Copies of this chain bind each other. A is one copy, B any other.
């Protein structure tokens, strides 16, 4: 289909996502991707050195979307403590929606996550950076006390403390009845810890 268009990395990534969505991580093959694009699988290898590299790129794109979706909460107007709760809640809601809306897709995503821990590490660093900025703002506003060591360490601690509510490994627990309350309790705990 659309064999007239130029074959770009972007188009290959879109096709790969479609194939992953349709067949799952176990059955998705490079040949499938090529078939969707109406090209030979050799052409795919012109843009991505290996199947692993292709899957890594898909993972990166996928995670990038979370970052983009969270930026509004990062740049919102209002006091930093309120923005932090908003940001954390948005992160939880985003992940939960993804997990609840299409559990199979989430399982696929989880497999990719497991395959590409380096990409995930970089992604986590980005998220922690976002938290760091809110903490710095909060300190400037006089809402948050000075951090015990530095903002980045505290931000990482906030990220780790809320891990259960954004790490896909825990996706199965997010649909249980108490999840919402448990999340609120941890956020409340974190806010208490930060308050000056």
Contacts and interface: CB of A to CB of B under 8 A. Distances in A.
Contacts of A190: 161, 189, 193
Given A160-B164, A164-B160, A170-B169, A193 B185 contact: no
A158 interface: yes
A156 B194 CA distance: 19
A27 interface: no
Contact of A157 (B149, B163, B167, B188): B188
A119 B182 CA distance: 20
A77 interface: no
Contacts of A193: 189-190, 192-193
Nearest to A188: B148
Contacts of A188: 148, 157
Contact of A186 (B161, B169, B181): B161
Contacts of A85: none
Give the interface centre of A162, A165, A182, A185 by most chain B CB atoms within 10 Å: A185
B160 A182 contact: yes
A160 B162 CA distance: 8
A175 interface: no
A170 to B, nearest CB: 7
A85 to B, nearest CB: 14
A29 interface: no
Nearest to A163: B164
9 contacts: A148-B192, A154-B189, A157-B188, A160-B161, A161-B190, A163-B163, A163-B164, A169-B170, A189-B190
